[in-house]
Amino acid sequence: MTVAPTGAESSKADVPQLPTTLDELVETAQRCETAGAAMIHVHIRDDDHRPTLDVTRLTDTVAALRENTTLVVQLSSGGSVHDPLEKRLQVLDAAPDSCSLTMGTVNFGDDVFSNPWGFITELYQLSQEREVVPEFELFDLGHVHALHRLLASYGLPYGGRVHCDLVMNVPGGMPGTADALVAAVNALPDEVTSWSATGIGRSTLTVALAALAKGGHLRVGMEDVLTLARGVPVEHNDQLVSRAVELGRLAQREPMTPTEARDLLQTRPAA
Ligand code: KMH
Ligand code: ZN
């Protein structure tokens, strides 16, 4: 189970319970680990709670999460739709266990989340060099196709495992339906060793249930959904983790521990 607690899209003014400071992020990470998360997908904010890719801040964040949790630390290389590609490559300077790596450009609501092929291949090769395990973010079936091309051209990731996350229901990407999930999973390259799925907004439960039924892992968090039900705001990310754990238990699936997740992903051993 991955928790994506913050994202880059919601503002602190609109969602005061969003963890945007380092203290809030660490507290969230601890509570989500207790609730059953094994990995954290991290976007950070500046002193004004705006998205930032400042490398010093990212490095401090990785250190604080390592000090206070055993979670696998995954930094977002996606940032916000406004971040330049060069800044997004620098995320690896903060030496996380894992980084997200989106497999293509996608319309993102009224914006464009830009991931040209040259950027994808540069980030991928950098992740191999720096021994950072990528999580391939797949927003559309075309991104699955691009993953075949990447693996054929540049070989396996650091650690030899191939882990993907289906990000569904972004306006511009694939819909958050069971049918779309099955189509995407059936098209994954044979090299894929594990995958998770997350459904944005209202599709969160549909996607989680479909992923469990199809044997996948789950990502949840306030990056992806801000309500538990219509008109019921999420007060803390651990509510989403606990609910996903409960869904898993109904499906007789136990959440992995961070140690098991490290083994699954073959992340770099601690220095
Ligand atoms: N914030 C989105 C534009 C990622 O973290 O790699 C991109 C995103 C994907 O969240
Ligand atoms: Zn993200």
Instruction: From 58, 102, 120, 169, give the residue whose CB has the most ligand 1 atoms within 8 Å, as the site to mutate.
Output: 102
pLDDT in tens, 196-211: 999 999 999 999 999 9
Specify the residue with its C-alpha closest to ligand 1, atom 9.
78
Atom of ligand 1 at shortest range from CA of 76: 5
Specify the residue with its C-alpha closest to ligand 1, atom 4.
78
pLDDT in the model for residue 221: 99
Q: What distance in Å separates the CA atoms of residue 232 and residue 114, rounded to the nearest whole number?
A: 33
Confidence of residue 27 (pLDDT cuts 50, 70, 90): very high
Contact 204, 225 (CB under 8 A): yes
Cα Rg of the chain, angstroms: 17
> Strand 51-52 and strand 72-75: pairing?
unpaired
Confidence of residue 74 (pLDDT cuts 50, 70, 90): very high
pLDDT in tens, 156-207: 999 999 999 999 999 999 999 999 999 999 999 999 999 999 999 999 999 9
Q: How far is CA 52 from CA 4, 55, 101, 117, 222, in A?
A: 16, 9, 17, 24, 17
108 CB less than 6 Å from ligand 1? yes
Residues 6+ apart with CB under 8 A from 232: none
* Token output for 185: 């999973």
Q: What distance in Å separates the CA atoms of residue 213 and residue 219, rounded to the nearest whole number?
A: 15
The mean pLDDT value for 85-111 works out to 98
The mean pLDDT value for 144-167 works out to 98
The mean pLDDT value for 58-68 works out to 98
Confidence of residue 270 (pLDDT cuts 50, 70, 90): confident
198 CB less than 6 Å from ligand 1? no
Number of H helices, E strands in the chain: 9, 14
Q: What distance in Å separates the CA atoms of residue 168 and residue 214, rounded to the nearest whole number?
A: 15
pLDDT at 224 exceeding the cut of 90: yes
pLDDT in the model for residue 127: 99
